[in-house]
Structure 1
C-alpha cells in the first residue's frame, strides 16, 4: 500500500471552514424560519449554497491536504457533482429545521438522508481522483465514517432547529454548537480518509491538470471564506433589520394602543370619555332589551368646584377631579362604568335594576364626595348633585337618557345641592326654561338689562339712614323684573357671576361716589358676594379697580359674604378676607346663625359686621327661642367687637325689641323696600329719619 500523509497547514483551515460553515448554517436556519413568502425561498436557496459550499470546501481542502508518493489530480465533473450533492443535502437540512415541529421520527429520517448526502459528497469527491486500481476502504473505518456522518447530521439538525429562535444566550449557544458540528464534520472527513487504502502501483487518472494543489487550496479557501462571510454578514444585517423592524412595529403597536386608549378615555382622570360611555350604554341597552331588564344611569355634577378652581388655580382643580374619580371608582362595581364628560360632570352607568338600589348607590356617592379633600395644604369641601334615570322607563335612546338625567341633576341643584333626584317628565320643561334663561342671561350684559336697587340701612337708635345695600335686578324684555334668586344660580353654573359681580361692584361704587358728591359723605354701600365670586382669584383686584376708578374711599364699601360661603373652607376664606381687609373695605358676615360656624374660626375672621338672618327676626318679639338666639348673636358679636345688623325688620315691635337688645343697625320693609337709585336718592334728599312706610 502506498504511504499517505496530510499537510497540517491545510488541515487546520479545513477544520476552521467546517466550523464557520456550521455557524453560518445555524444563522441561516433562523432567517429562513423568520421569513415569509418569497423571502423564505430566497433565504433557503442562499443558505443551501453557502452551507453546501462550506461543507464541500472543508472536504476539498482536506483532500488537497492529502498526499501520496504519486502525482494526484481531480476530475472536474465528478468534483462539481460532489459540490452539488453538498448543496442539495444542505437545502434538505435547512428545509427540515424550518418546520414548526421536529419530532423524533422526522429527526431520525432527516439524519439518515442528510448523512447519506454527506457520505455521497465525500466518497464522490474521493472518486474524483480516478485511481487505478480503485481505492480500497477499511470496513470498520468506512462504517465509522458513515455513522459519524449520520450522527453529525442528527446533532446538526437538532441544534439548528432549537437555535433558530432568538434567546438571551443565542450568540454563545450558536458558537458552541458550531464548534461541535464543525469538529464532527471534520472528524467524519478524516475518518473517511483514514479508511482509504491505495495499493502499490496505483495511478491517479485525473493527474496532470497542471494546477499546484497548494495554490488551488488557497483559492478554494479564499473563495469559500468570502462566500461564507457574505452569507454570514447578510444574515446578521438582515437579523438586525428585522430586530429594528420588530421594535418599530412594537412601538407602532404601542403608540396605536395609546392613541386608541386616549381616544376612549379622559386624559386627566383616565376614566372613560363620552365616546366609550356611549358605546357601553349602547351595549347595556341591547342586553337590557334581550333580558327584559332595566338599569340605572346617574348624571353627577360637583357643587362648589368652580369656586375651588378659581380660588386655588386649575392645577388644584385638576387634582381635585382626579381624587373625586378615585373615590367614585372605589365605590362602584367592576362591571359598572364611571365616565367623565368634561369639566366637573360625571356619568355613572350601573347594572342595578331596582330604583331603591340606585338610590342607595347615589347616597353612597353623596357621602364619599362630601368628605373633605386634602389638597395643596388645604382642606377642601365640595358636594355633588345627582340626577337618576331608569332605562327604558325614562328614555328609549342614549340621547333621551343623558338629557333626562341632566334635567334631573339640575333639579337636584335647585333643591339646594348635595342631593339626588329621579327623573320626572316635568323636569324637561324646567330644564328647557333654564337653558333659555341662560341664553338670555348672556345677552343681558350686552343689552344693559341689569340695574341696582338700594335698600336703606338705618341706625337702630336714631333711625337715620347710614347706608344702603345694593341689590341686583334684571329687567327682562319679556318676563319683566326678575329677582336674583331666579337667575343667580344659572349665572354661577355658567361662570357669568364673576363678570356680573364685577359690574355690580363698579356700579355700586359709581353711585355711592355720586351721592358723596351731592353731600351725603357719610353714606356707605354694601354689596353681596356670591360663593363663586368670593373664591375667584381676581376678586381683590376687581374691588381695588372699582374703588380707584370711582375715586372712592375703601371704608365706605362693605362686602357681604354669607356664613355658609365663609365657612366652606375657613382657612381659604380667612386668607381672602384678610386681603380685602388690607385693601381697606369693610366685611360683613351675612345670614349669620343659619350655618355651622366654628367660634375658633369666627374670631379669626377679619370681619366688621354680623348680619342676623331675617328668619330669626320674623317672629320677634313673641317667639322666645328666636329672641334667645338673637340675644346670643348680639352678645357674641359685641364680645368680638363686631357691629350687629338685623335684616327683615317689618314692624315697629321688632324695631323696638332689637333696639332694646342693643342691635346697631336695622334693615327691612319698615324702613323702605329696595328702590332704584333715583327713588332712593329722593329718600336721602328728604332726610328720612325713623320708620317709613315706603
Structure 2
C-alpha cells in the first residue's frame, strides 16, 4: 500500500481527525499534493532503511534512470549516482561518508547515473529513529539542478575564458602565471612567457568589418592551439593580443623554434567571407627566473621584447635583454628625429650594383637609404625604415627616394637601370602612378630604366585595387620586381596575375646553399625554372663567396647582388665608376661560404682557472668568435666566455697571434630573433643565489668569479698577460728609463 511509506514523510494516521472522516480526507488530500508535486518535476522524495537501501523513491526518478521503481527498491541509495569526470567531486566516495555520519545534510549536488546524459540533482536528507532511539534510515527530498549547474558553469567559464575564442582570458592567464611562478620559485624551476601581437589585424578589421575580424581571431586561436604543446597555457588577452605560458622551458634554441613555428603558422593565408587575407604575428619572449621572478616583471619584459620585435620589422621574435630598455629609448628618439632628417639633409641614397652572372657587367643599381644622424652616427635602414612605416613617415621618405634615384640615374651612361623599393603603404596610395610619372618627367629618365621593387605584403587583401595598381604602373612603362620572394606570403597565383619582370631570391635561401644535404638548391632551381617559363629575370641576393657564385651560375640565375661584387656605394662613386662606359666588376671574396660572422665591438669576460679577464670581442658567429686583450695565448687553451646576464660559453683557442685569438665554441649559439646570437641556456639565478648573489632577474653586466684556490689552499697566479696591464707596465718602464736618462 502506497500510504505506508508516505507516512514516513509526516502524513497523519487514519482516524486521527474528528469522527475519523476528516482525517481520512486530509490524508488523501496530502497524498494527492505529494503526487502532484512529484509529477510536476520540481522535486521528488526518497527514503532508506537503516542499511542504506532504498525503500521509497518517487516514480519520476526511477523513470529518469530508465528503470521501474521495483528495480530500484532495495538497492543502495548511493547507486543512483556517479562520479562527474569534469567536476572534481568524487560523489561515490563522499556521499557514503555523509550518509555514514547519520546527520542531517542539505542541498548536496550529485550527478545521476544516466548514461549519455548530464543530469544533476540536489538532495537533502534527515536521519530517522524508532521509538527506542535506534537509527531507522533517512528520508529526504531532491530536485533537478541541471540547468542551474550549467548556468553556473557558464558564468564561471565567462569569468575565466574568452567568449570569442574559448581560450583562457587575461584574468585566468594572470592567475595561472602567478601560481606557476610561485610554485616554480620554490622548486627552482624555469618558466617562459611569450607575448603575441597580430600584425596588420586592424587593416583586416577596417577593410572587411568586425565580424570578419572576429572570425579571423577564431582561426588564429585554432592555429595557435595546434602549435602550442598541451602542457602549455594559451590565452587571449583581448583585441589581437595572445599569451603563451611555457613551464620548464628555458632553452632559447627551442623557444626560438616554437616562435618561428607560430609566426609561420599564423602567417599562412586565411579565407574570410569569400575574401583572402594575410596577416602576421610578432613575438616577445621572457624567461623566469632570468628575466624576472614575478609575473609583473616577466610580463613587462616580454612586452618590451614584443615591442622590439614589432619595431624590427614585424613577423619576428625577440628575447628580452636589458639592452632593450636602451633600444626602446633609442627608437623613440629615432622616430622624433626622423621627422626632420630629410629637411636637414641627413638622408642620402647609396647604390648597390646588380651584376650580370655571365659577363660581370653592372646592369642595375639598387637605391639604398642612408641616414647620417648628427649624434647617433650612421643609422641602418633596417632600423629606421620600420619606424618610418609605423609612424606614417614612409610615404614622404619613399617619394623623396623615388625622385632622387631618378635624378641620379638620369646622369648614368648606357642603359644601367635604377631599382627603388616601394613600401606597401606607398603601393596602396592611388597617386603612386602619377608620382612615378612626375619623377620620370622631371629627371628625364626613360621609364624602362626604372625598376620598382615590391614585397609580397602588397598582396595582403588580394583585392581588385592591387590589380588596378599593377596595370597603372605597367601603363607608365616601368619594370616591376618581386623582392624577398619565398619569405612571406608567396603564391604561384601572384606570379600568374601580377606583371613582374623580375624575381629576387631572398638571401635566406642563399645561406647554407653550398652545404651538403640542403634543400635550398632545389628551391632556387625551381624558382629559376618558373621565372624562365614566365619570361622573368632572377636576382640572387647576398652572395659573398665564390662557391655560392659558382652555384648561382650553374643554376642559371640571371643577376647577382652581394658583397662578392660590391657593397652599396655613394651616388658620386657610382657615377665615377660608370663614366668610362660599361662597368665590369671582377668578383672578390672568400672561396667558400662560412657561418655568418658579424663584426662587433663588445666587452666580454674570459674565465680561465680562478681568474677573469676583461677583453674585447671583435667578431662573432654561431660557432666562434675573435677576441683581443690577452698576450700570446697557446692554441687549445680552454676558456669560459662570459657574455653577461648569465650567458656562459665554453670556448677553445684555435688560432692565436699576439693579442688576437680565434675561439671555437663547444656548443653553437642560437639566433635571438634580432639578427644577433645568444647562448642556448643561461646560468640560473638560483645557482648564483647559492653562491651568495640575491635571487632575482639578473642585473646588467658580467659576474666575476669569487676567489678560488687551486686546491692547495693558495691562489694561482694569472696565466696570461692582459693587454691593458701590459700597456701600463710598458708606460711605467718607459717613464723610468726616461727619468734615468734625464
TM-score, normalised relative to structure 1: 0.48
Q: Which has the higher strand share?
A: 2
Is the radius of gyration larger for structure 1 or structure 2?
1
Structure showing the higher helix proportion among its residues: 1
Instruction: Give TM-score, length-normalised by structure 2.
Output: 0.46
